[in-house]
Chain A
Amino acid sequence: MKIPIIYNIRSLRQRPASTLTTAIGMALVVAVFVAMNALANGFRAALVSTGSTENVLLLRKGANGEMNSGIGRQAASIVGGLPFVARGADGLPLVSPETFVVVPLERAGGGRANVVVRGVSLQAFVVRNGIEIVTGRTFRPGTREVVVGVAYTKRFPNAGVGQVVRFAEEDWTIVGHFAAGGSSFESEIWGENEQLMPVFRGQIFQSVTFRMADPSAFDGIKTAIEGDARLQLDAFRERAFYANQSEMLTRVLSFIALFVASIMGIGAVFGAINTMYAAVASRSAEIGVLLTLGFKPRSVLASFLVEALLLATLGGVIGCLIALPINGLVTSTTNWASFSEVAFAFRVTPSLLLTGMIFAITMGALGGLLPARRAAKQTVIDALRAG
């Protein structure tokens, strides 16, 4: 016969101080676990969601990022004429030749940060998926106007529509803000490539991105482009390229999250074992009574395990509640592949909270098992005498 759960709830309430300290100890561990993973999640989301699987990004052969690539006008126009490039409703090829530089700008909180300035044509807003102007309008070709990503506006001063940002010794007027589905484009400044080319690196683009007419044909397209002696280009799937750029940092962040949480978890399990042992020791008499009443040792074991799990669940819930407010908090770090700043938000997702709860319950199970076995192994006589 099972021992009713209400027995465990009442015993936990019987010693509120000890219950709360153990639960809060676990809660802090869960909170740190959730927070660290929310950070890694947010960063991954910012870079992995950058780019589309239907697009191909081209760089100069051997370049490992947009920053150290260079593609001449001629190569860029050859790409526009290739047969596997998709065409828009107006019949024009969906190709976006882009310039890419990073410029140092003063951050809102003081200190400088490198920001990506991307020179695009209006076609880029069609080719690069999910770009959406949320405030103002897009830049007019032939003018010194730029649009900035929504993440940029949170990190840098004077980012409002109508305000002016100064780089490359020139003033550029911000005419709009764009969103890009939380991707790293949102940390960038976009202007017209024909305006940016002369003030930066001369008549070369850094990358060319195009939409594939048939996205399933990527392997063939890659072979065709990389084998074309006129081009001297490497081809990547756009999304895979950006994911790859963030690979190292994502790995570092995930490692730190796992390392800190597991070490803390071990500490918390030790704490839980201690608490449960103490609970078992101080309730010897009760255990004796339970056994005398005819409850099986198995039921006693189950009951103490349930109690540890209850404690862990309480800790898990408190921990998740502590971690919840960080959701959406914007922080930034450097994408080392381009030496530029990427702003991203902590992302506390339902599945992450679930993982946090599972983490808490696992700690409870590990912490409760040994003490529960000790409780179940007692003989009636010993238990009653000890009490």
Chain B
Amino acid sequence: MTVGGLIRANLFRNKKRTFLTVASVAVAFFLYGVLRSVTTTLDAAAAVGSEARLVTSNASGITFTLPEAHANRLRSVPGVTSVSWSNWFGGYYRDPQDFFAQFAIKAESYLAMYPEIQITAGDREAFLRERTAALVGVGLLEKYGWQVGQTITLKGTIFSGDWEFVIRAAYTPAEAAYGDENMFFHYEYLYERTNGQITPGWFVVALDRPESAADIAATIDAQFKNSTAPTKTETERAFQAGFVTMWGNIGFLVRAIGTAVFFAILLVAANTMMMAVRERIGEIAVLKTVGFTDGAVAGLVIVESLLIALVGGALGLALAWSTFQGRNPMQAFFPGNGVTTGTTLLGFGLALLLGMISGAVPALQSARLSVTSALRRVA
């Protein structure tokens, strides 16, 4: 019998137990995969904004807007190449629970500033030409079955009433994390419908040299310090990260749970391996009698537990990967979520570790086993 055959025979001697152990390891790694992906997605969301653009918002908080006149003064700040602005619309389509983000933008300058929004030249023309036109992500088209050319009605919550838009263009995001479930429309449309009662929500400022972002941000805020609307300027990345940190300690929570899960399963797996070895004391004694060294016997046990851990780990990670495929409900909040390569690699590392640790004690036991005492017990 070959060594491989021996290991296989050992694994299948108690099929039920091997299956249960692999299954419980798979469950643990499934949870690990899902939970870690939640944290990597949160981290990715915090890093999605550009560091080459600044966002200038009202220092009093997100509910306050800024005067349009700020735009001209922003343009004259040295190092600023262009300025655009955007407003949060906060409407919903059909059902208030059906969330997606809508922004009223100063269209031409905004699109020029965002290479993330990939759009054909024809679509761009069509969108810019029409006041009630909307530009939507391909994900939204798919989600609601919309077509380009279709008129949709959103209900406003901040700006009350029914709002009609004609979908004139669809974009694909340059990177998945930017998201394909956003909608953009013309600031002018919002301005007119509200009888000029609205002013820009926040300004986006493009820079010629991103290295000077901090200095320019300070210059901008100093300029508006004594105006009617003092500003808070930060890089777009910091601005976005501010929203992500509002999720609070979720990252910590998820890590704590993950650790608890890992330990629980480690105990289960180690326990099973110990039982498997205990059951086989006689056989191991026989192996030693026929000439297997202490190391070889220990190796057999370790390989067995490694196999269980790796197979279980691979199954669990595959399952976690598949849950993030397709459109999941997290897509609207966290576009581009999924199991990263880092998560997969770390997962296999952990499986390896799990196999080593859970196999260590029984391997040591079998290596130290004294043949005479073992055989006496069997006899």
| Contact A339 to B246, CB < 8 A, known contacts A32-B261, A282-B279 | yes
Binds B, one of A21-29, A129-137, A291-299, A301-309: A21-29
Q: Smallest CB-CB separation from A39: which chain B residue?
A: B253
> Does B327 lie at the interface of the complex (its beta carbon under 8 Å from any beta carbon of A)?
no
Interface size on B, residues (CB 8 A): 51
Residue of B249, B265, B278 with most chain A CB atoms under a 10 A cut-off: B265
| Contact A268 to B268, CB < 8 A, known contacts A17-B274, A274-B21, A339-B62 | yes
Taking a contact as CB atoms under 8 Å apart, the answer to whether A18 and B161 are in contact is no
Q: Could you say which residues of chain B place their CB within 8 Å of the CB of A103?
A: 60-61
Interface residues of A in 47-105 (CB under 8 A from B): 60-65, 67-68, 101-104
Taking a contact as CB atoms under 8 Å apart, the answer to whether B24 and A21 are in contact is no
Once bound together, how far apart are the Cα atoms of A35 and B31, in whole Å? 17
Interface residues of A in 1-45 (CB under 8 A from B): 17-18, 21-22, 24-26, 28-29, 31-32, 35-36, 39
Residue of B156, B160, B270 with most chain A CB atoms under a 10 A cut-off: B160
Once bound together, how far apart are the Cα atoms of A36 and B253, in whole Å? 9
> Does B20 lie at the interface of the complex (its beta carbon under 8 Å from any beta carbon of A)?
yes
Taking a contact as CB atoms under 8 Å apart, the answer to whether B97 and A248 are in contact is yes
> Does B59 lie at the interface of the complex (its beta carbon under 8 Å from any beta carbon of A)?
yes
Taking a contact as CB atoms under 8 Å apart, the answer to whether A273 and B20 are in contact is yes
Give A235-250 as 1s and 0s: 1 = Cβ < 8 Å from B's Cβ atoms: 0000000000000100
Q: Could you say which residues of chain A place their CB within 8 Å of the CB of B28?
A: 267
Once bound together, how far apart are the Cα atoms of A189 and B63, in whole Å? 17
Q: Could you say which residues of chain B place their CB within 8 Å of the CB of A26?
A: 264
Q: Could you say which residues of chain B place their CB within 8 Å of the CB of A18?
A: 271, 274-275
Binds B, one of A138-146, A180-188, A258-266: A258-266
Once bound together, how far apart are the Cα atoms of A266 and B248, in whole Å? 29
Least Cβ distance of B18 to chain A in Å?
A: 10
Q: Could you say which residues of chain A place their CB within 8 Å of the CB of B246?
A: 113-114, 333-334, 339, 341
Taking a contact as CB atoms under 8 Å apart, the answer to whether B96 and A267 are in contact is no
| Contact A333 to B247, CB < 8 A, known contacts A32-B261, A267-B24, A278-B275 | yes
Q: Could you say which residues of chain B place their CB within 8 Å of the CB of A277?
A: 16-17
Taking a contact as CB atoms under 8 Å apart, the answer to whether A167 and B60 are in contact is yes
Q: Could you say which residues of chain A place their CB within 8 Å of the CB of B218?
A: none
Taking a contact as CB atoms under 8 Å apart, the answer to whether A28 and B264 are in contact is yes
Residue of B96, B156, B232, B248 with most chain A CB atoms under a 10 A cut-off: B248
Taking a contact as CB atoms under 8 Å apart, the answer to whether B264 and A29 are in contact is yes
Least Cβ distance of B327 to chain A in Å?
A: 17
> Does B176 lie at the interface of the complex (its beta carbon under 8 Å from any beta carbon of A)?
no
| Contact A274 to B271, CB < 8 A, known contacts A28-B264, A60-B160 | yes
Interface residues of B in 56-87 (CB under 8 A from A): 59-64
Interface residues of B in 92-118 (CB under 8 A from A): 96-97
> Does B245 lie at the interface of the complex (its beta carbon under 8 Å from any beta carbon of A)?
yes
> Does B257 lie at the interface of the complex (its beta carbon under 8 Å from any beta carbon of A)?
yes
Taking a contact as CB atoms under 8 Å apart, the answer to whether A263 and B61 are in contact is no
Least Cβ distance of B240 to chain A in Å?
A: 13
Taking a contact as CB atoms under 8 Å apart, the answer to whether A168 and B24 are in contact is no
Taking a contact as CB atoms under 8 Å apart, the answer to whether B248 and A334 are in contact is yes
Least Cβ distance of A68 to chain B in Å?
A: 4
> Does B299 lie at the interface of the complex (its beta carbon under 8 Å from any beta carbon of A)?
no
Least Cβ distance of B227 to chain A in Å?
A: 11
> Does B49 lie at the interface of the complex (its beta carbon under 8 Å from any beta carbon of A)?
no
Taking a contact as CB atoms under 8 Å apart, the answer to whether B247 and A334 are in contact is yes
Q: Could you say which residues of chain B place their CB within 8 Å of the CB of A114?
A: 61-62, 246
Q: Smallest CB-CB separation from A32: which chain B residue?
A: B260
Interface residues of B in 324-360 (CB under 8 A from A): none
Q: Smallest CB-CB separation from B22: which chain A residue?
A: A270
Q: Could you say which residues of chain A place their CB within 8 Å of the CB of B245?
A: 111
Once bound together, how far apart are the Cα atoms of A168 and B60, in whole Å? 5
Q: Could you say which residues of chain A place their CB within 8 Å of the CB of B60?
A: 101, 103, 167-169, 200
> Does B27 lie at the interface of the complex (its beta carbon under 8 Å from any beta carbon of A)?
yes
Taking a contact as CB atoms under 8 Å apart, the answer to whether A62 and B157 are in contact is yes
> Does A271 lie at the interface of the complex (its beta carbon under 8 Å from any beta carbon of B)?
yes
Taking a contact as CB atoms under 8 Å apart, the answer to whether B30 and A102 are in contact is no
Q: Could you say which residues of chain A place their CB within 8 Å of the CB of B158?
A: 63, 68
> Does A355 lie at the interface of the complex (its beta carbon under 8 Å from any beta carbon of B)?
no
Taking a contact as CB atoms under 8 Å apart, the answer to whether B59 and A169 are in contact is yes
Taking a contact as CB atoms under 8 Å apart, the answer to whether A264 and B253 are in contact is no
Once bound together, how far apart are the Cα atoms of A156 and B60, in whole Å? 17
> Does A332 lie at the interface of the complex (its beta carbon under 8 Å from any beta carbon of B)?
yes
> Does B250 lie at the interface of the complex (its beta carbon under 8 Å from any beta carbon of A)?
yes
Q: Could you say which residues of chain B place their CB within 8 Å of the CB of A168?
A: 60
Interface residues of B in 124-159 (CB under 8 A from A): 155-158
> Does A281 lie at the interface of the complex (its beta carbon under 8 Å from any beta carbon of B)?
yes
Taking a contact as CB atoms under 8 Å apart, the answer to whether A271 and B24 are in contact is yes
Least Cβ distance of A151 to chain B in Å?
A: 13
> Does B23 lie at the interface of the complex (its beta carbon under 8 Å from any beta carbon of A)?
yes
Q: Could you say which residues of chain B place their CB within 8 Å of the CB of A29?
A: 264
Once bound together, how far apart are the Cα atoms of A111 and B248, in whole Å? 11
Which A-B residue pairs are the 7 nearest by beta carbons?
A271-B268, A62-B160, A270-B24, A334-B246, A267-B27, A28-B264, A333-B248
Residues of B whose CB lies within 8 Å of any CB of A are: 16-17, 20-21, 23-24, 27-28, 30-31, 35, 59-64, 90, 96-97, 155-158, 160-161, 230, 232, 242, 245-250, 253, 257, 260-261, 263-265, 267-268, 270-272, 274-275, 278-279
What are 7 A-B interface contacts by the 8 Å CB criterion? A25-B265, A28-B263, A62-B155, A103-B61, A168-B60, A270-B21, A271-B271
Known: A25-B264, A271-B272, A333-B249. 15 other contacts (CB 8 A): A25-B265, A28-B260, A28-B261, A60-B160, A101-B64, A112-B242, A169-B230, A201-B63, A263-B31, A264-B27, A264-B31, A268-B268, A278-B275, A332-B249, A334-B247
